[in-house]
Structure 1
Amino acid sequence: MSEPAAQTVRSFLHDLEEQRQIKILFAVESGSRAWRIESADSDYDVRFVYCRPLKDYVNLARPDDVINAAFDQKLAPCTAHDALYDLCGFDIFKFLRLLAKSNPSTIEWLISNVVYLGPVPPELRAFAEKSFDDGTLIRHYRSMAANNLREMEKRRTFTGKKYLYAFRGLLNAFCVAAFRRLPETDFTHTLETCRQTLGEETYAALSRLIESKKYGRETEDLGRQPLLDEALGKLLSLTETDARAQNAGEEKERCLNAYLQKLLLGEKA
């Protein structure tokens, strides 16, 4: 990612801090640019976590727990649909409640390899790596893949982008199921990790799709790809799970409450 683009993002974030009277704890990239499969015109999916002054929380009117902003190529405010820079932030209370339930988005923010403002709190990243619920993540990533496959079937258009996003979902699910660890943010690393499972022919085909996407050919209709369809079917079988989502649990809540109290009250964890 270019430094001018990163500086632009940081400028937007600092403006939000001043306008909304918040403190941004960390801000990361969460999208194709973090996955290292972006094209030249990919937008910037900026995600951040913020907190407010303590007095704002001691109030009958609950403060907003989500902040959205979007800006176009001319850096002017716009709708999310027209955005080159799409910013979304969660209040720390909302973020931690979701993290306690192994919400995949919150986990991906914590392990993103593109950090605009930070650092990412190491205790929260360690919590995510240690306390995630594998069933929740596997179902989420399988659902992501299924949504992309259904969309291709519905439109009868089979693009490299949709194939890649389906494989990202299923390979992430496979890494959680097979290795009992969080998937890497960088999809090219995940692809390498799963190379033996995929087989050389499928691995090479996906590598070519990544290169095509980088050159802006991501929306070309490729037609059905039997090789890729077969590999997707195999991954669907390998990632089947009947594990139920776990409750947050007292120990998880105690850990996250300790972080929250330290952040807002200055208490020792």
Structure 2
Amino acid sequence: MQTNLENSIPKDIQVYIEECLKKVETENNIRILYACESGSRAWGFGSPDSDYDVRFLFVHQKEKYLSVNSPLDSIDKFFDKDVDLSAWDIKKALSLLVKSNATPFEWLQSPIIYRQSKESEAFRNRLWQLSKDYFSAKTLIFHYLGIAKGMISKIEENQISIKKYFYILRPVLAAYYIKTRNEAAPMEFKYLVNNLQTKEEKSVKDAIENLWEDKLIAKEGDRIEVPAFIHSFIEAQISECGIYASNLKRETKDIEPLNGFFRDLL
């Protein structure tokens, strides 16, 4: 199954989101460097009533970073029309990228970009290239497995909302992708599913794609019986990916390239 997400946000919503971004930019005296969609709509399995999870990276005026008090490093704001806006100061984002935090890797791969400009594109491309030097398979696999395990605890009497089940499935497939490719997992669900390529995995891939079709027309709260065949694969990968990651070594990363990138932005 394939999805085309680039133009999936209605034009009126895109216009409204840009108005929200401009408002936040003015109110906080910041410069937005990059803005994208995150969450289920960007992953490729958003429900008809899913929120718009707008995420962006911003930078303060240079003087803010030279003051005694640390400047605002995050912004969270809700708007009408189900727009959920959340953002990080670039300095915070870079400090977390050094630790191979999953969020920068995901945001930079979003197929839905809200600010289309040469400046934003150049920022995204340069940071994405830099990010590859801070990729840690060990850290990211454990991150995704932790999300999956937390969501599995939401299963009650062998039932769970279909939305939450995909919040189990996606991180497990992301961990498996990292294990098999040794690179950051793509944000879009279709690429994670297409990574199931062996003959043994074809039946699992088909079952996931069928469930995916159901997810796209389901409401956020619709519940399902836990699919036994898919769940057996999930449990196996949680174990196998966990063992694989446990045997990897942690590496110390050089922070200086990110320092140079940050100074250039100022």
- TM superposition score normalised by structure 1: 0.86
Match of 2:221 in 1: 219
Mapping 1:1-269, distance limit 5 Å: 1-73=9-81, 84-117=82-115, 118-119=120-121, 120-153=123-156, 156-196=158-198, 199-217=201-219, 219-240=221-242, 241-243=245-247, 246=250, 248-249=252-253, 251=254, 253-264=255-266
What stretches of structure 1 move > 4 A for 4+ residues in a row?
none
**Secondary structure, counterpart of 2:225 in structure 1:** coil
- Is the CA contact (8 Å cut-off) linking 2:151 and 2:167 kept in structure 1? yes
**Secondary structure, counterpart of 1:158 in structure 2:** strand
- Is the CA contact (8 Å cut-off) linking 1:72 and 1:85 kept in structure 2? yes
CA distance in 1, matches of 2:19, 2:139: 35
**Secondary structure, counterpart of 1:128 in structure 2:** helix
Aligned-pair CA distance for 1:178 = 1.2
5+ residue gaps in structure 1? Answer: 74-83, 265-269
CA distance in 2, matches of 1:106, 1:49: 9
**Secondary structure, counterpart of 2:153 in structure 1:** helix
CA offsets, 1:26-51, max 9 Å, x none? 11111111111111111111111111
CA distance in 1, matches of 2:137, 2:263: 28
Aligned-pair CA distance for 1:222 = 2.1
Residue 57 of structure 1 aligns to which amino acid in structure 2? Y
Aligned-pair CA distance for 1:198 = 6.4
CA distance in 1, matches of 2:34, 2:126: 13
Aligned CA distance change for structure 1 residues 38 and 245 (closer, same or farther; 3 Å): farther
**Secondary structure, counterpart of 1:184 in structure 2:** coil
- Is the CA contact (8 Å cut-off) linking 1:45 and 1:87 kept in structure 2? yes
Residue 164 of structure 2 aligns to which amino acid in structure 1? K
CA distance in 2, matches of 1:107, 1:169: 14
Aligned-pair CA distance for 1:248 = 4.9
Aligned-pair CA distance for 1:97 = 0.3
Percent identity between matched residues is: 28
- Is the CA contact (8 Å cut-off) linking 1:198 and 1:231 kept in structure 2? no
5+ residue gaps in structure 2? Answer: 1-8
Q: In angstroms, what is the RMSD of aligned CA positions?
A: 1.9
Aligned-pair CA distance for 1:218 = 5.1
Aligned CA distance change for structure 1 residues 243 and 101 (closer, same or farther; 3 Å): farther
CA offsets, 1:106-158, max 9 Å, x none? 221122121112224322101223430111100001111111111114x6522
- Is the CA contact (8 Å cut-off) linking 2:99 and 2:134 kept in structure 1? no
CA distance in 1, matches of 2:205, 2:83: 32
- Is the CA contact (8 Å cut-off) linking 1:136 and 1:245 kept in structure 2? no
**Secondary structure, counterpart of 1:102 in structure 2:** coil
- TM superposition score normalised by structure 2: 0.87
1 or 2 for the larger relative contact order (CA 8 Å, sep ≥6)?
2
Aligned-pair CA distance for 1:6 = 1.7
Residue 148 of structure 1 aligns to which amino acid in structure 2? M
